[in-house]
Structure formats: structure tokens, C-alpha cells
Chains A and B, each alone.
Chain A
Amino acid sequence: MSPSPVGELRDLLGASDKSEVAELEARVRELESIVNSWQRQSERIETIAADLPAVLERADAAGPEVNEALRPQVIEAVHVSSRTDPDKLAEALFPIMGKAVRMIIANMFNPQSSNKGFDVDEVFLIERLSGLPMLHVPRSPEAGTNSDVVAGMLEAIRSFVQDSFNATDFDGMRELSVGDVSVLVEWGPQAMLAVVVRGFPPETLRVRMQEILERVHSEHGEIIDAFEGDPLTLEPARQSLESLAIEADKKNSRRTLILAVLAVAAVVAVVVFALVRLWV
């Protein structure tokens, strides 16, 4: 007996459903396989990431091959960063650049100058706009009775030089020298640091001045901003300024000790030489 038309239609529809289900099941298996593959890859990456520092450390110890292999990629990455986002790169380098540049400059100067003595007579922190003294640290209480006028004159001389020679660099005046007395000046955003030195200061003194000026701006920036002429407000910065004079004294003491030891050694050598001559 031939199937009724309704039964025939049901068979046809059922065949279509079965085929679609099989198709969907195959697709699900395929997707599961992809997800599993991703998971395996992710686990592998996590394992590698966890081991990478140790691997690199060991590879570095074993030889330069890994460094050599990585170098082109690192250089290219720095190049790309400097082209696409130079501010970010500059920001990242800022904390080390200042120090590095200062050390290079310090090393460029004749190291012989550091072998001669120097004294720090006075240290001034001066408001750069008005030339008013913000803090004054003299070596002795008698020194620097005219500190306020001296601070003003430094600013006046700077203004005079800048105006007379149309100097565009506001921070141009960095040193005044008369005989063996020098005034070294370092400029910060709101204040300048001036150090009166007698003798031959090493270039490292200027590096210390820059460090101290940066520290004073960073630690006492709000007081400096609100300064209205009362130096007492800047007293918390006194220790930083005093450290310049103290360090100079320590270096001088060390130098004196070395010279004393050398002198004693020379005397002993002469005496020994004379005694040997007598005995021979």
C-alpha cells in the first residue's frame, strides 16, 4: 500500500530536520575545537609568561645570543614610540636623563680642579622674579650681613646682562667670578640657588646644587609659590642648603688628612734614606 500524501510529507519534513541537526552538531564540534585550541594556546602563553623572566635570565647568563636576537625588535619599538608618542617616551626617560646628563658634564671637566681646595662661604635661595632672599645660609654669622642686597644685585646683574645683550635665555647667568671668589648660580622655576665659593670648586658641586634645587622645589613647592617676603617660611629648606657647605667641609677635611699623611710619609722616607746613607 502506497503511503498517504500526508505521511509522505511528514517523511520529507523529518529528513530535512535531521539534516539540519547533523549540520548544527558538526558546527558545534568545530567551534568547541576552536575554543579548546584557544584555551590551550592561552595556557601555553601563561606558562611561557611565568617562565620568561627565568628563561631570559638564564639565556643572558649563557651568552649574548638572546640579547642579540631581541635587539632589532627593541630598537624598532623605541623608534616607533619616538615617532608616534614622543611625549610618553620623554616622560619615561625624564627621571634618569637629568642625572645622566649632569654626570656626563661633570666628567667632561678637568678632574684636576677637584684636587684643589674650596670653601662654600654662603648659600642663597632667591626668589627669581623679585630677587628677594628666601633663605640665606652663611658659613659664619659675621658673613653675609648684606645678604638681602647681594641677592637683589644678582638678579639686577642678570636683568642688566639679559637686557643689554638681548639674551633670550632667561637662565643664562650661571657664574660670576672675581679673583678666587665665584658665585655659582642654578635656576629653578620659582627660585634660584646661588653659592658663594672661595677657591676651586669641582663641577660636582654644581651637580649637587641642581639636585638640591630640585629637591627644594619638590618638597617646598607650595611654600615657594605662596612666598610673600618672609624668609622664616622657608626655614624647613635650611638643612638642604646647609648640606652644601657641610659636604665641602668634609671634602676639605679629607683632603687635609691625605696631605698630612703624604707629608708624614715624605718625612719618614727622607729620614729612612738619610739613615741608610749613614749605615752604608
Chain B
Amino acid sequence: MMHKKICLVGAAGVGKTSLVRHFVSNVFSEHYISTVGVRIERKKVTIEDQTLNLLIWDVQGEEGMLKINSSFLNGAGGYLLVVDGTRPETASTAEQLCERLGDQIASVPVVAVVNKIDLPVDREAMATAISSIEQLADVQIVETSAKSGAGVERAFHQLGERLLGLSPTP
């Protein structure tokens, strides 16, 4: 079985940990993320008869992501770049992060997750913000609601498909 490291990154409060909670059952307790700055979860996904073990590094999002420990991102096979659909400024934060990571993120598959779609979303502002991220990385966009669980599986599966070199299902 193939193991792949993926990193969940985004500004504080965009719902990264809530997304993971919907996708995996917790292995380690919550306090790990507050002490070390990262929590690692595992989820096996089966895509076209191939089982992929996703090791999900839920990296603590600090305000503006400026203080993120980038060594947590070393060796990542792909990224889930999470933004809050109700706060277009979180997409700018994600863009800044892409700029800062440069090749580290541009060379691997990225799924941009627009979370909290159960709340009123400023789609126009979000589309503008996301388009600037698309300039910096090979991005697929998935809308999710960590509250209802809508789109969460699809976001992880799309990244899994791309990690296996498959074209993501629409």
C-alpha cells in the first residue's frame, strides 16, 4: 500500500481541523496540535482498486500563516489549501502562503478547499481571490461544509486521484 504525506494548510479559523474530523477518526488527542503545532491523522482511501494511505498533516494556522513552521511541509506529496468561503481575505492569506512556498507547492497537486459553504458566501470575491492562487499552483477547487460534511470526502479523493496520477473525477 502506498503512503502519501499531504498537508492541510490555511489561515487560522478556516476549519481545517473540522474537515479532518469529518474525514478520519482521531488517532491522537487534540492537545498535540496546540503543543507541537501539527497533528497527523491517517485515512485509507481506495481509488480505482488502489488503496492509498493518506497521512494528513494538519498544520496549525497562525494569523496570516506567517509563522508556519515550513519544515512540517517538507516532503509533502500534495496540499489541501483551505479558505473560509465567508472571508475572502483568507484566500489572500492562502495566496501569500503559495508565494512563500514557491516550488515546494507549485510542483505538487493542490486542492483548494472553499469551506463553510453552508453559510452565505461572497462567490464573486472568492472567485477573484482563488484565481490569483491558480496562477501560483496547480489547483483544483472543491467547495465543502465541515458542518454538514458536504464535499469533504470529494476534496480528499480528488487529491488522492491526483497523487496517483489520475485525472480527478468532476
Contact = CB atoms under 8 A, between A and B. Distances in A.
B40 A152 contact: yes
Contact of B75 (A132, A146, A148): A132
A229 B28 contact: no
B28 A149 contact: yes
Interface stretch (B2-10, B122-130, B134-142): B2-10
Interface stretch (B11-19, B66-74, B81-89): B66-74
Contact of B69 (A127, A133, A153, A163): A163
Most buried by A among B2, B57, B71: B71
A147 to B, nearest CB: 10
Given A130-B74, A160-B69, A149 B3 contact: no
A228 interface: yes
A230 interface: yes
Given A132-B3, A160-B36, A152 B69 contact: no
B36 A129 contact: no
B4 A229 contact: yes
B28 A127 contact: no
A156 interface: yes
Interface in A214-236: 228-231
A156 B38 contact: yes
B65 interface: no
Contacts of A82: none
B76 A230 contact: no
A115 interface: no
A123 to B, nearest CB: 17
Interface residues of B, number: 24
A74 interface: no
Given A131-B75, A159-B69, A162-B71, A148 B2 contact: no
A146 B55 CA distance: 11
Contacts of B27: 146, 149
Contacts of B38: 156, 159-160
A157 interface: yes
Contacts of B1: 230-231
A157 B55 contact: no
A152 B2 contact: no
B154 interface: no
Given A129-B75, A130-B75, A133-B3, A153 B55 contact: no
Interface string B75-105: 1110000000000000000000000000000
Given A149-B41, A160-B36, A229-B3, 7 more contacts: A129-B74, A130-B5, A132-B5, A132-B55, A156-B37, A229-B5, A231-B1
15 contacts: A129-B75, A130-B5, A130-B75, A130-B77, A132-B75, A148-B3, A149-B41, A156-B37, A156-B40, A159-B72, A160-B36, A160-B69, A228-B2, A229-B2, A231-B1
Closest 8 CB pairs of A and B: A130-B75, A129-B75, A159-B71, A152-B40, A229-B3, A163-B69, A160-B36, A130-B5
Interface of B: 1-5, 27-28, 32, 36-38, 40-42, 53, 55, 57, 69, 71-72, 74-77
